[in-house]
Structure 1
């Protein structure tokens, strides 16, 4: 962590409870901790922020027991506000602490710089998405192809950024890396957040960093939609946790709209489009997402939607696609789909 970052984190820690009340307003104090759902200010109890220094460490340090993420109050400001660069995070921290911003060296390009995104992560997500480019011919396309995922160029949810900011939550060190950018939207198509997957410099796999995939913005109820035409009824669709899982299903069923909710909890709260009659929920081989599947199935049933679970042969549907091949995956799915859907969405066998 740089000296300026360390000093800002220390100063924020001196006002840890005030920081939490400002940026983690959906939480509450319990003893020496602030309890909240996650670093993006979701409701819940899995994240604990230490409010006063003790034998375990300084004030302002936090840990999310559900995800094993941890960090300091600069991370809280970054994630809860949806900021995308250290300069924006530092400026917001200084604003909160009422510390004047250091005089920058004057550069002509600074005159044309846009102001920092308004507080609230959807604005920051929309800005980063707008700064990115279509994936055709980029490292992002190479990465997806290497995962066996072949998507039409018209998939509007996907972009590529050649130098996306990444901050190590442990050391505070920052760097820029190429990244696959996936828009998280509501059923109206409006961007509410996004997911960044940082890539190796040659596009052959993810970057060698601690957590190469992170989401920001308003995720609950929304998802990474592939094939959704806002305002058009969606009688049949599929949903699941991971983007690559759902993109793998769309590779073999390119006419089927799919949504990746980014986590089990968000899958449970996914808002389904009007006119939906049948919902396929993609499962992984492990039990981590069982709660999300059960809760979404229950909500679908309460709305008169038939919910059916699709199960992979291996760990997940991307494993099936890569190791067994698209033809084998299509044949495996044909026995799990309603016959009319198999005829409509799967290639003729």
Structure 2
């Protein structure tokens, strides 16, 4: 609930489980369910988490959604949910077997975070690594899982550092596979100007929708940002900002009962009428229509027999 009593997106911070090393957890699906409920979170509700989730399935199929896109994660697949995304499990976690690795954004060293592009926000879909790439990911995960559950085998500080290095190896392999599988050449050759612009938009989209403001903040010309964004994201800088605003608006419309006026304020509009005009122009429908459709589609998404 927000301060006015409206249902809001469930924000889930990282909270270490008692006895677990700080910053990272390696869990089976059953353990994840227990962890969520132990922290007072319905494991099947839509949540916005403040940490990374690496999900892989060994047997069975897991259905889940990330920011309005439904995914089926089958045997051998990996799905990477990033901090800030709206994530929801849509099938019973007991119907499949697999592993979830949770880690805080600051747990890995800066060099690893930069190479793996942990702060990038491209669309994400399940990966199906095959051959040597799949074997390497699985063996790295097995080492990480074994070390995680060997608490007491080393002094705690040494244990945490081993976990950090093993997680870095896993994340770097997975990030490389993700880029090779999903990113087109434009994404792969994204410039430093675009990366800085993307980070600035992520910080400031609720306060400014003007390319000029970001250009001034970053020390680039509007033309440079527009050219860099078109090369990396396939759209102009203004449309990139608008798409980020639209995504957040959709999140709030679908997963809260906040009024259009409150949502307008949260995403940087002076009043609801301006927000409605913006939303209709970009999406082809009103906020009210989108909210109604998303609620209709969302019905029945809760796995049978698992509700709380």
TM-score exceeds 0.5: no
In the superposition, the TM-score normalised over structure 1's length comes to 0.27
Q: Which has the bigger relative contact order, CA under 8 A and spacing at least 6?
A: 2
Which structure has the larger Rg? 1
Larger fraction in strand? 1
Larger fraction in helix? 2
